[in-house]
Amino acid sequence: MKNVLFAAGEKRWALYFDPLTKALESEGVAAHLSQDIPPQSVDYIVYAPDSSLQDFRPYTRAKAVLNLWAGVEKIVGNETLSIPLARMVDPGLSKGMTEWVVGHVLRHHLGMDRHIVNPDNEWRPAVPPLAFERTVVIFGLGALGTACAMALVALGFNVVGWSRSPKSVEGVTCLHGEAGLSAALAQADIAVMLLPDTPATTNLMNAETLGQMPQGAYLINPGRGPLIDDDALLGALETGQIAHATLDVFRTEPLPRVHPFWDHPNVTVTPHIAADTRPATAAQMVARNIARSEAGLPLLNLVDRSLGY
Ligand code: NDP
Ligand code: OXD
């Protein structure tokens, strides 16, 4: 019997208990799943970064931490954690992110605001370009960036992806590393940020890089707040270098009520809802990883602590 500690909060416990119990059963793992297990008896920890568990040292027998979030920036630097950490890759999360990104890309591509907000009853015909005439650059070609890129390719957009290491995604022009960054920025009529928050990605969008994007570009950030230098973005919005920013994530969440993004006419704020893990599918991913670990196989979606994601 494996003791699986659920350290992810009361609200999630209610959502995850049934799906996780079923998923563990169907993976053939005999498990005792609970929110309350003596630390020295715990075999696996299902985790959310807002959990009260922050000191992993007493969990001497634990074999892995299975994060329910895709982003691991709140746990990856925890020095008390010395066992493997897996991040969440969940088909439900990927679908949610794809729908959110496609929706916001289409909003800007089609210029929907012009017709939705038209207080003067002005007849203003403006025909948008076709998708193949618009380049969308996805910064981050991981589980989520790739799913979004493929959906945008299917709609006919010219899609460019940028990652740390070389990638190959059908229909997508793949660029990588420092050498590929300027070319990616220069083409980004619409930029979608799906990078993790690491020391290497902090302020990737700053005055200089925003200035390398086409005049009047759109910026969509469902990745993490620190990817963007807020002041530089406000400056770029002021000059029209960036026409509009749609932001789901922020350095401080909830976004403080006094933050200038709230009232800016060319900023859309959404409250970190771009995508969420879906218990039915996320539970299967967690159970599969526990089963793999028990079978002596490497964990899927293992975090590289030295890279921070
Ligand atoms: P992955 O780890 O699968 O992908 C990350 C991508 O970023 C990879 O392509 C990686 O490159 C690239 N990358 C990392 N560091 C660099 C760098 N220094 N330079 C260039 N590229 C880099 O993550 P996911 O796709 O699963 O998730 C992405 C992020 O989305 C999460 O970290 C999280 O912050 C955010 N998120 C937001 C949600 C929301 O609701 N707003 C919901 C879920 C996630 P390589 O392929 O070479 O490794
Ligand atoms: C995540 C998120 O990282 O919801 O999963 O942002």
Superfamily of domain 2-90+277-294: NAD(P)-binding Rossmann-like Domain (3.40.50.720)
Confirm whether 224 is a catalytic residue.
yes
Amino acid at 305: R
Which of the following CATH numbers is that of domain 92-269: 3.30.2010.10, 3.30.2130.30, 3.40.50.720, 3.60.21.10? 3.40.50.720
Q: Please determine, for residue 50, whether its predicted confidence score (pLDDT) is greater than 90.
A: no
Is the Cα torsion angle 228, 233, 234, 237 positive or negative in sign? negative
Nearest protein Cα to ligand 2, atom 6: 71
**Cross-strand bridge partners of residue 98:** none
Assessment of whether the complete model's pTM goes beyond 0.85: yes
Q: Are 93 and 70 in contact (CB under 8 A)?
A: yes
Confidence of residue 22 (pLDDT cuts 50, 70, 90): very high
CA torsion angle 207 211 215 217 (round to 10): -60
**124 C-alpha to center of ligand 2: Å?**
39
Tell me the ligand closest to 196's alpha carbon. 1
Element (H, E) at 244: strand 242-247
Quick one: which ligand is closest to 225's CA? 1
- Give distance in angstroms: CA of 93 to centre of ligand 2: 9
Minimum-distance ligand 1 atom for the alpha carbon of 274: 40
Percent of the chain whose pLDDT exceeds 90: 98
pLDDT digits (tens, 9 = 90+) for 173-231: 999 999 999 999 999 999 999 999 999 999 999 999 999 999 999 999 999 999 999 99
276 Cα–ligand 2 center, Å: 6
- Extents of the domains making up the chain: 2-90+277-294, 92-269
Pocket of ligand 1 contains residue 104 by CB under 6 Å: no
Instruction: Determine if ligand 1 sits within 6 Å of the CB of residue 224.
Output: yes
How big is the chain by its Cα radius of gyration, in Å? Answer: 21
Q: Could you give the C-alpha distances from 116 to 121, 220, 237, 268, in angstroms and in order?
A: 11, 19, 21, 14
Catalytic residue among 12, 108, 224, 288: 224
Amino acid symbol at 142: G
Return the ∠ at Cα 75 (arms to 87 and 70), rounded to 5°: 25
Task: Quote the CA–CA distance of 232 and 204 in Å, as a whole number.
Answer: 11
* Nearest ligand, CA 139: 1
- The atom of ligand 1 lying closest to the CA of 275 is 40
Q: Does residue 22 have its Cβ closer than 6 Å to ligand 1?
A: no
For 92-147, the pLDDT digits (tens) are 999 999 999 999 999 999 999 999 989 999 998 999 999 999 999 999 999 999 99
